Amino acid sequence: MSPRTASCRCGQLRATVTGEPVRVSVCHCLNCKKRSGSAFAVQARWPAEQVIIEGRSSSFKKVSDSGNWATFHFCPDCGSDVHYDNNGKFDGQIAIPLGAFDDPFFLSPKFSVWEERKHDWLEITGDDVEHMD
């Protein structure tokens, strides 16, 4: 896969990734709903060495429902989340919201997690999507 770039709305903060992501997932947890401002969030994860971050960011650290923490990096000018990292099973990886990419259509989720908090009117479909509570 050729390099792909994600950026904030004003373009000041950017993340460029190379190679294939290790995971693409939809999350229905309350933290992701708040982060995305939507009924769920979609993000892709890469090993940290495959991500180049450029620009200034502010950060916010939050403990998730699973007990792991995540540090969210957002643009101090426009407020857009561009990337985050966390401990636990995703330590050493950087997650980027799919909607932050210049081309947000190049990936599809393979996992739908925290489905016990999924809205009743929502269905995540796909031939090989794994559904988890």
Fold of the CATH domain 4-115:
glutathione-dependent formaldehyde- activating enzyme (gfa) (3.90.1590)
Domain boundaries, the chain: 4-115
Cα separation, 43 vs 105, in Å, equals: 12
pLDDT tens by residue, 28-52: 988 889 888 999 999 999 999 999 9
Is the confidence at residue 1, as pLDDT, over 70?
no
Those residues with Cβ within 8 angstroms of residue 36's Cβ, 6 or more apart along the chain or in another chain: 97, 99
Is the confidence at residue 74, as pLDDT, over 70?
yes
Cα separation, 14 vs 71, in Å, equals: 16
